[in-house]
Amino acid sequence: MHITPSPKRLLGVTLLIGSLGLGSFGLVGPAPAALPTADAAGTPLPSLAPMLERVTPAVVNIHSKQVQRVRNPLADDPFLRHFFGIPDMPQERVQQSLGSGVIVDAESGLVLTNNHVIEGADDISVTLADGRTLEAELVGSDPDTDVALVRVNADNLTALPLADTKLLRVGDFVVAVGNPFGLGQTVTSGIVSALGRNGLRGLGYQNFIQTDASINPGNSGGALVNLRGELVGINSAIFSPSGGNIGIGFAIPASLAREVMRQLLAYGEVRRGSLGVVAQDITPELASALALGRQPRGALVARVDPGSPAAQAGVRVGDVITQLEDQPVLDRAAVHNIEGLLPVGKPIRIAVNRDGKTLNLKAVLKARPKELVGDDLDPRLGGAVFAEIPERLRQNGITGVVVSKVESGSRAELNGMRAGDVVTGIGRRKLDGLSSLQSLADATPREMVLQVVRGRRSGVLVMR
């Protein structure tokens, strides 16, 4: 049985899973200056210790274990298997990782952490600050926001109150608490460096708090708190070319984690809303044609789905969306990111530029369809089921829909379609998601040619 660590890196952004083995690394740094214990008048020096005495019991270590069955390639040769005595059965390999979590409901034993800490785990255990180790039950997870919720059954738990992150400002002092490198509970301090960070490729829906508080592998799922000891964020990732801390860390806002937790408890999943628009980035040529100035900001509306929230709000093709709720829209990715972070049924404000004038519109987000059945779209797609692509693929620039299922012997299978295919377009028109699949299928009465990505290859399928 072999144990391997599970580091995860995405284009310079390191998800903070710590491995069990410390290996041979040195903790090297400048020697701390000696501090006096009190001033001349005997007044104690300022300290974070009283606040941390309330916070640290609510921060836990999370240990996850995944058992993988691995077949020895030599076992495929009967001669080698007989000669070397290799058993003709898969061997087990155990992959273990360490992370952190935060107790947010002591009575119910609810613990928030990152999805990537527990993803694929067969067993999850939680170690409390007082040394108790408990088996944990996965309540649910949301890979697109990297939030997961687990439950433990224990008495005398301590929970952290969640802060109103709308009040958080750049420059506020914050403290990170977690389990870096499996060393045990560690506290670091810093400030809020930026708010509303997004655009980190491969990390799904994003609205990160950026901080310079030292965050390292193993801190994933740990607490970022303000000086009142309130939870302002869940530590999630660091930006680092080398994998170590360079003073750029990211945390999921507590308000977003609260909404994900609410939906996981209510539905077992996160239901996301959609405005029903397809937007595109504004090129210099478009900016000149629309008289948007030298530094255009916003997303140009290329299509409005009939009956969608955007259509009902009065959004038109050619409008430039400049703001959703209180968040500025800089490009088409921002539209998708913001609408995916807002709860279904929430009324939102939309600011658009139309013919040089700013209009303020209101819409109510509707739930996105989870999947579409090919038989309901077109007989040539019969037997296939389509779903939205994972948000992490979208952040890497891939748009379209994924084929989640193909029935054996169906028309879709006979046409060459396979489960796992990513359909990026129909004919010469690109797909943006399930809604555009519906409209493009309706507009394709004759030959249906699908643009498909399968693994690392791309090509076309002619559906007959």
**CATH code assigned at 419:** 2.30.42.10
DSSP state of 298: S
Residues of the chain with pLDDT under 50: 1-7, 9-11, 19-35
Residue 38 belongs to some domain of the structure: no
- Angle 416-403-144 from CA coordinates, rounded to 5°: 155
Question: Phi/psi at 82 (nearest 5 deg)?
Answer: -75, -40
Residue 214 belongs to some domain of the structure: yes
| Domain termination residue (choose one: 214, 242, 269) | 269
In this structure, how many other beta carbons lie within 10 angstroms of the beta carbon of residue 66?
Answer: 16
Instruction: Look at residues 432, 400, 401, 144 and name the one whose alpha carbon lies nearest to residue 271.
Output: 144
Same domain, 428 and 309: no
Structural domain including 10 reads 1-19+49-269
Write the CATH number for 170.
2.40.10.120
pLDDT of res. 26:
36
Q: Tell me the per-residue pLDDT of 231-268, one tens digit each, with 9 for 90 and over.
A: 999 998 776 666 566 678 899 999 999 989 999 998 88
Same domain, 155 and 57: yes
Residue 218 belongs to some domain of the structure: yes
Given the residues 116, 236, 331, 336, the one annotated as active site:
116
Determine if residue 53 is left, alpha or beta; phi over 0 gives left, psi from -120 to 50 gives alpha, anything else beta. Answer: alpha
Given the residues 142, 144, 146, 331, the one annotated as active site:
146
Same domain, 251 and 281: no
Same domain, 356 and 335: yes
Active-site residue flag, 220: yes
Residue 312 belongs to some domain of the structure: yes
pLDDT of res. 73:
56
Q: Tell me the per-residue pLDDT of 349-387, one tens digit each, with 9 for 90 and over.
A: 999 988 888 899 999 988 877 788 988 888 889 999 998
Same domain, 128 and 183: yes
Active-site residue flag, 288: no
pLDDT of res. 74:
55
Domains contained in the chain, number:
3
d(CA 17, CA 162): 24
pLDDT of res. 326:
81
| H helix or E strand, kind and range, residue 350 | strand 347-354
Residue 30 belongs to some domain of the structure: no
Residue 29 belongs to some domain of the structure: no
Same domain, 235 and 220: yes
| Domain termination residue (choose one: 207, 234, 269) | 269
Same domain, 436 and 458: yes
d(CA 236, CA 223): 10
Same domain, 359 and 242: no
pLDDT of res. 343:
81
Instruction: Look at residues 424, 459, 463, 416 and name the one whose alpha carbon lies nearest to residue 444.
Output: 463
pLDDT of res. 82:
57
pLDDT of res. 332:
82
| Domain termination residue (choose one: 216, 242, 269) | 269
Partners of 147 in beta bridges: 142
- Angstrom CA distances, 224 to 62, 190, 221, 236, 253, stand at 16, 10, 9, 10, 9
Given the residues 220, 236, 274, 436, the one annotated as active site:
220
Same domain, 5 and 62: yes
pLDDT of res. 61:
92
Active-site residue flag, 146: yes
d(CA 212, CA 36): 26
Residue 34 belongs to some domain of the structure: no
Same domain, 187 and 313: no
Residue 41 belongs to some domain of the structure: no
Question: Phi/psi at 65 (nearest 5 deg)?
Answer: -135, 130
Q: Identity (one letter) of the amino acid at 347? A: P
Same domain, 286 and 189: no
